Amino acid sequence: EVQLLESGGGLVQPGGSLRLSCAASGFTFSDYAMTWVRQAPGKGLEWVSSLTGSGDTTYYAGSVKGRFTISRDNSKNTLSLQMNSLSADDTAVYYCAKAKQWLPGNHDYWGQGALVTVS
Amino acid sequence: EIVLTQSPGTLSLSPGERATLSCRASQSVSTSSLAWYQQKPGQAPRLLIYGAFSRATGIPDRFSGSSSGTDFTLTISRLEPEDFAVYYCQQYGQSPFTFGPGTKVEIK
């Protein structure tokens, strides 16, 4: 059974940093691209960042480029998102999601989300 | 950046009715790289359709996807009570892999 479990969310002051993690199990982690998607309170989904199965190609939304860094440790089946220079606009539930293939694409499994509050 | 526009914003229908949701891309989406997701309150999104037409594993056949150029459609042939939710389209042909703003399907 595929499971994705986010951790690391919480309350942070504006300008601060936070690191989210996503522990994956139930599939061959390195075979699939992974993605972070966020959802501000009462708003729609916003794609944040993706990386390929090997982790050597990364993609970022313009709103986070230069502030957020996505990475993965295929030996530990873990996806991470380092978030710096946070502002109130970054307040959201952050979901990690598994792609259906090695390159970023559609996402067949999602975690339950981690709440990040910048205040 | 490919901008996705979904319409209508809200669709008010009764169980058993047919729902037609639209997603229009601001430019061509490569190789039909368009997915549809369903999200219920307090839950993570669920993949319904990928590649514009293909149903994800376990998705009932009352859900179907189609496309015509830059216009994509999600059709729910007969609404069941559990189908009332918000639906999002997403393109994954070109980074940034944008989502549409969503269509809420509510009970009339």
Q: Is 70 exceeded by the pLDDT of residue B104?
A: yes
Given this model, what pLDDT does residue A105 score?
87
Given this model, what pLDDT does residue B31 score?
66
Residues of A in contact with B96 (CB under 8 A): 47, 59-62
Residues of B in contact with A97 (CB under 8 A): 45
Q: Is 80 exceeded by the pLDDT of residue B75?
A: yes
Q: Where in chain A does DSSP place strands (E)?
A: 3-7, 10-12, 18-25, 34-39, 45-51, 58-60, 68-73, 78-83, 92-99, 107-110, 114-118
A62/B1 Cβ within 8 A:
yes
Given this model, what pLDDT does residue B10 score?
98
All residue ranges of chain A with pLDDT < 70 are: none
Give the tokens for residue A25.
Answer: 């199990």
Return all residues near A15 (Cβ < 8 A) that are at least 6 apart. Answer: A85, A86, A87
SS3 at position A58: strand
Q: Is 90 exceeded by the pLDDT of residue B101?
A: yes
For residue B93, the chain A residue with the least C-alpha distance is: A105
**Average pLDDT for chain B:** 96
Given this model, what pLDDT does residue A29 score?
97
Given this model, what pLDDT does residue A104 score?
85
Give the tokens for residue A95.
Answer: 């979901």
Residues of B in contact with A100 (CB under 8 A): 50
Given this model, what pLDDT does residue A43 score?
97
